[in-house]
């Protein structure tokens, strides 16, 4: 980049050239993500008006130089779809400029007159500084302009500029882990409003990604009937972990409100120590009878509700196929399923030589098991050779990491943003390199 810090008002109307020197269009705005905390927002890209007057989105990763007279794009493809702004995005020129904010130190109300973008070590561009003007004194005297850091003002976060409905529309585009991280950064009142507005299925997904302390706080906020409904919607192993953190009387009351077929697996999981295979397993792996076909097995693992780790293999057992199952026969890895004819029976593809885990196996043994066999899921079998469930590698990692690992992750990146500029996906906005593209 030719310049390390650029005030965006100077970019309006700047010519945009492709790598071959041909003029593509001109800059109309820059798009950045709104965040739930005071961290400087990331600049996603530019709104470029083509010679046809159509406005498109050009990611910052496609921008190679920003000179005083022009912007140059790198070789690559850009989406030709008409630009549509997302709920958690802000147009720096069209919306941020002229916004009224307050200085943190003094509480003085000021107006944003310009914003400076700058490149950080990750090569992302952020809105690092703002030029603000104090309110004018009298009829003729203009207010004083000063340049301050983004974190020196209040009133520009996602929770400041959008109500609960706006936050919900933003959270609809985010992964549950990112929503959980974002909720942790919200003021308590707004956080509880969002929790009350989420449907049970979505709230269950978010609960599974929260730190234990946040889970306990928020489950106590819900009325007991809704808390029981949310627990039913959670993965059984995550729900059991949450119940284990509650006082025994509260846990038993919630179990009593749940449907018997939903509470029974949780009661079984709660009989095992949390750091054993029985305590870590999920009782809902993909289980098939020996006469199931490859086509049936693939149809089961294609279910988007099944976590990727559990979809990595199917377990073949004698009826009943609900855990605890009949006699365990073995497993079939998904790679094997993809190589076989759809009409083949899974009974003929079973890997019966793979070692299994006992429900009382401690965490150290489980870790060595996954490392030795290069697995992401492993069967848990009792002494009578019944399949009780499956342990997945994400649950192992969750117990190997320090208890406060989610809080540490939140501290390092409060918005859960893990995308790098070289990625073509922007999790904050849901933007991707769409199929309608043209070479720049």
42: tokens are 């990331």
Cα 86 to chain centroid, rounded = 17
* pLDDT for 406: 64
3-class SS of residue 93 = helix
* pLDDT for 433: 44
Q: Which residue bears the tokens 């196929």?
A: 321
Q: Dihedral of the CA atoms 290, 292, 298, 302 (nearest 10)? A: -100
3-class SS of residue 28 = strand
Count of beta carbons in the 10 Å neighbourhood of residue 243: 22
- CA quadruple 163, 168, 169, 173: dihedral sign: positive
What is d(CA 429, CA 163) in angstroms, rounded to the nearest whole number? Answer: 18
- Averaged pLDDT, groups of 10, the chain, 440 residues long: 76 92 93 85 94 93 90 86 88 92 90 93 91 71 84 85 80 87 86 93 93 89 95 94 93 96 94 94 96 97 93 97 96 96 96 96 96 95 97 91 65 42 39 52
295: tokens are 């086509």
- Cis amide bond preceding 195, omega within 30: no
* Residue 118 phi, psi dihedral angles, 5° rounding: -145, 155
**CB half-sphere exposure, 123, CA atoms < 13 A:** 13
Residues sharing a CB contact under 8 Å with residue 245, sequence separation 6 or more, in sequence order: 212, 215, 216
Q: Which residue bears the tokens 């990146």?
A: 413
What is d(CA 244, CA 364) in angstroms, rounded to the nearest whole number? Answer: 21
* pLDDT for 157: 82
What pTM was estimated for this model as a whole? 0.72
3-class SS of residue 319 = coil
* pLDDT for 110: 92
All structural domains of the chain:
1-162 (2.30.30.240), 163-271 (1.25.60.10), 287-400 (3.10.580.10)
């Amino acid at each position: 980049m030719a310049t390390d810090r650029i005030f965006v008002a100077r970019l309006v109307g700047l010519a945009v050239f492709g790598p071959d020197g041909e003029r593509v269009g001109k800059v109309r705005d820059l798009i950045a993500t709104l965040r739930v905390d005071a961290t400087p927002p990331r600049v996603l890209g530019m709104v470029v008006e083509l010679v046809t007057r159509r406005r498109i989105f050009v990611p910052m990763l496609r921008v190679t130089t920003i000179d005083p007279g022009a912007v140059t794009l790198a070789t690559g493809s850009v989406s030709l779809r008409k630009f549509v702004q997302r709920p958690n995005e802000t147009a720096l020129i069209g919306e941020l400029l002229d916004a009224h904010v307050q200085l943190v130190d003094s509480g003085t109300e000021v107006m944003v007159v310009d914003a400076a973008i700058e490149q950080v070590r990750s090569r992302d561009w952020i809105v690092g500084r703002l030029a603000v003007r104090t309110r004018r004194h009298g009829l003729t005297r203009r207010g004083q302009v000063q340049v301050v850091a983004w974190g020196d003002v209040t009133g520009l976060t996602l929770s400041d500029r959008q109500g609960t409905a706006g936050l919900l529309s933003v959270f609809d585009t985010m992964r549950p882990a990112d929503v959980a991280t974002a909720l942790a950064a919200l003021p308590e009142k707004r956080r509880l409003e969002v929790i009350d507005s989420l449907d049970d299925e979505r709230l269950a997904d978010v609960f599974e990604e929260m730190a234990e302390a946040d889970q306990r706080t928020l489950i106590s906020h819900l009325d007991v009937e809704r808390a029981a409904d949310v627990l039913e919607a959670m993965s059984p192993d995550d729900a059991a972990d949450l119940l284990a953190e509650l006082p025994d009387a509260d846990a038993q009351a919630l179990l009593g409100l749940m449907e018997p077929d939903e509470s029974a697996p949780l009661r079984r999981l709660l009989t095992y120590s949390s750091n054993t295979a029985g305590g870590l397993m999920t009782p809902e792996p993909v289980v098939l009878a020996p006469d199931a076909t490859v086509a049936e097995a693939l149809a089961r693992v294609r279910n988007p509700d099944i976590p990727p780790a559990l979809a990595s293999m199917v377990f073949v057992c004698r009826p009943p196929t609900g855990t605890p199952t009949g006699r365990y026969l073995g497993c079939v890895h998904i790679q094997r399923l993809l190589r076989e004819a759809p009409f083949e029976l899974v009974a003929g593809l079973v890997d019966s030589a793979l070692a299994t885990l006992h429900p009382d196996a401690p965490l150290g043994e489980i870790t060595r098991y996954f490392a030795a066999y290069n697995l992401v899921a492993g069967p848990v079998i009792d002494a009578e050779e019944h399949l009780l469930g499956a342990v997945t590698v994400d649950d192992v990692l969750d117990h190997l990491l320090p208890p406060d690992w989610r809080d540490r992750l939140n501290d390092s990146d409060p918005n859960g943003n893990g995308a790098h500029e070289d990625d073509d996906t922007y999790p904050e906005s849901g933007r991707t390199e769409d199929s309608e593209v043209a070479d720049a």
